[in-house]
């Protein structure tokens, strides 16, 4: 029996026993020349492995894992409207509304920092329509707040809703889409006198 076979077998035993074997520890035990092959076999196993029946202590350990709790906190934040998300992210970044406004003013070469601050305040108060915010604005805001652009994406849709499911009440879904398009078609055109700042926060041509 080769050392790789021995290590793979031990790993599988630990995995199936619900003991959360550490891949790095196993790779460290292998000879350097064997590590790639062992890693490949471990990855193959992990793709097909059954989910073990973890005991209560292991389940509690998994639930308390800081990487998981942090990821859940972020995911929960993404499920809130931007009006709640932006102040939270802003506070996490240690910035005041005025700071954010000043950086936006600078980034877009806007003429009036005070008006920018009013818009940011309105945005955080939920007084603006999130759907009309310019993508350029959201990208820049994400950069200012030190988060990935995804963090300011619109609220996630319902589970699995990103795809059209023709077998599930397709007529109703199509009618709803038609209604939305119809409303958009008959909506008044944006005021041509909007300036750059208005376009960033309220949409319009070239937003």
In the complex, the residues that contact other proteins under the rule CB under 8 A are: 1-2, 4-6, 8-10, 12-13, 15-17, 20-24, 27, 35-36, 39-54, 59-60, 62-63, 65, 67-68, 70-72, 74-75, 78-79, 150, 156-163, 165, 168
Torsion over CA of 147, 151, 153 and 159, rounded to 10 degrees? 160
> Minimum distance from CB of 197 to other proteins (Å)?
28
Report the residue number, 28 or 106, with the smaller CB distance to other proteins: 28
Report the residue number, 43 or 178, with the smaller CB distance to other proteins: 43
Q: Burial of 162 by CB count in 10 Å (0-12 exposed, 13-18 middle, 19+ buried)?
A: exposed
DSSP symbol at 158: S
> Minimum distance from CB of 98 to other proteins (Å)?
30
CA separation for the pair 137, 27 (Å, rounded)? 46
Report the residue number, 114 or 150, with the smaller CB distance to other proteins: 150
CA separation for the pair 108, 102 (Å, rounded)? 10
> Minimum distance from CB of 195 to other proteins (Å)?
30
Residue in 124, 115, 81, 119 with CA at minimum distance from that of residue 202 = 119
Residue in 137, 134, 149, 146 with CA at minimum distance from that of residue 104 = 137
Report the residue number, 15 or 119, with the smaller CB distance to other proteins: 15
> Minimum distance from CB of 60 to other proteins (Å)?
8
């Amino acid at each position: 029996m080769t050392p790789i076979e021995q290590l793979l077998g031990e790993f599988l035993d630990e995995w199936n026993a619900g003991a959360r074997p550490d891949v790095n520890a196993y790779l460290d035990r292998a000879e350097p020349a064997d590590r790639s092959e062992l890693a490949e076999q471990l990855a193959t196993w992990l793709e097909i492995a059954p989910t073990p029946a973890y005991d209560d202590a292991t389940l509690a350990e998994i639930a308390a894992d800081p990487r998981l709790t942090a990821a859940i906190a972020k995911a929960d934040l993404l499920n809130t409207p931007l009006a709640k998300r932006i102040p939270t992210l802003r506070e996490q970044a240690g910035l005041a509304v005025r700071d954010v406004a000043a950086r936006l003013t600078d980034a877009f070469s806007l003429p009036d920092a005070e008006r920018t601050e009013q818009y940011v305040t309105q945005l955080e108060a939920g007084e603006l329509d999130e759907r009309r915010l310019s993508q350029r604005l959201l990208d820049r805001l994400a950069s200012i707040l030190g988060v990935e652009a995804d963090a300011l994406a619109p609220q996630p849709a319902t589970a699995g809703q990103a795809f059209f499911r023709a077998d599930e009440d397709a007529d109703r879904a199509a009618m709803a889409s038609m209604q939305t398009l119809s409303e958009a078609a008959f909506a008044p055109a944006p005021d041509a006198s909007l300036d750059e700042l208005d376009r960033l926060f309220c949409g319009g041509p070239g937003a």
